[in-house]
């Protein structure tokens, strides 16, 4: 599965962690949570 996607395990972990951070941010802050292009999160 991982090889088919062309992703390394580290990439999958990074993506997963980014999604989790975003979910936590949304749960805490709702719609004011905005995503930066570099994967960082901030309050708009």
pLDDT of residue 2: 52
Residue in the block written with tokens 């997963």: 16
CB 11 within 8 A of CB 4: no
The whole-model pTM stands at 0.40
pLDDT of residue 37: 46
Element (H, E) at 41: strand 41-43
Range of the domain at 32: 2-43
Phi, psi of 33 (to 5 degrees): -80, 125
Domains in the chain: how many in total? Answer: 1
Token code pair at residue 33:
């949570």
Could you read off the pLDDT of 1-44 as tens digits, one per residue? Answer: 455 666 678 888 888 887 887 777 777 776 666 655 445 555 54
């Amino acid at each position: 599965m991982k090889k088919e996607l062309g992703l390394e395990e580290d990439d999958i972990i990074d993506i997963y962690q980014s999604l989790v951070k975003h979910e936590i941010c949304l749960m805490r802050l709702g719609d004011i949570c905005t995503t930066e292009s570099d994967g960082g999160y901030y309050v708009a």
